[in-house]
Structure 1
Amino acid sequence: MANYPMNNNNNQAKDTMNSDKRRSLITYNHITYLLYVVSYFTAGLLWIVPIVMNYAKRHDADGSWLATHFDWQIKTFWYSIVWFVLGIVIIAFALGGFGVSMLTDSSNNMAIGSVLLAGVGLLIMLFTFIWHLYRIIRGWIALTDNRPVP
Structure 2
Amino acid sequence: MASKEGHSLLTDQQRRSLVAYNHLTYLLYVISYFTAGILWILPIVMNYAKRREADGTWLATHFDWQIKTFWYSIVFFFIGAMIMIFALGGLGVSVLADSGNIAIGSVLFTGLGIMIMFFTFIWHLYRIVRGWIALTDNRPVP
Q: TM-score range by the shorter chain?
A: over 0.9
Match of residue 139 from structure 1: 131
Provide the rounded CA distance (Å) in 2 between the counterparts of 1:148 and 1:54.
16
Indicate whether 1:11 and 2:5 are aligned. Answer: yes
Indicate whether 1:127 and 2:102 are aligned. Answer: no
Indicate whether 1:71 and 2:60 are aligned. Answer: no
Find the residue that maps to 1:147 and give its secondary structure.
coil
Q: How many residues align?
A: 140
Provide the rounded CA distance (Å) in 1 between the counterparts of 2:70 and 2:4.
30
Provide the rounded CA distance (Å) in 1 between the counterparts of 2:5 and 2:86.
50
Structure 1 runs (4+) deviating above 4 angstroms are none
Which consecutive residues of structure 2, in runs of 5 or more, have no partner in the other structure? Answer: none
Provide the rounded CA distance (Å) in 1 between the counterparts of 2:70 and 2:92.
32
TM-score, normalization by structure 1: 0.90
Matched letter for residue 71 of structure 2: W
Matched letter for residue 132 of structure 1: H
**Residue identity (%):** 71
Match of residue 31 from structure 1: 24
Provide the rounded CA distance (Å) in 2 between the counterparts of 1:11 and 1:101.
59
Matched letter for residue 101 of structure 2: N
Find the residue that maps to 2:33 and give its secondary structure.
helix
Provide the rounded CA distance (Å) in 2 between the counterparts of 1:63 and 1:108.
59
Q: CA deviation at 1:57?
A: 0.1
Which consecutive residues of structure 1, in runs of 5 or more, have no partner in the other structure? Answer: 1-8
Provide the rounded CA distance (Å) in 1 between the counterparts of 2:136 and 2:94.
53
Matched letter for residue 18 of structure 1: T
Q: CA deviation at 1:10?
A: 5.0
Matched letter for residue 36 of structure 1: Y
Provide the rounded CA distance (Å) in 2 between the counterparts of 1:43 and 1:103.
34
Match of residue 44 from structure 2: 51
Indicate whether 1:87 and 2:80 are aligned. Answer: yes
Matched letter for residue 30 of structure 2: V
Match of residue 110 from structure 1: 102
Matching residue within 60, 71, 96 for 2:89: 96
Matched letter for residue 146 of structure 1: N
TM-score, normalization by structure 2: 0.95
Q: CA deviation at 1:16?
A: 1.9
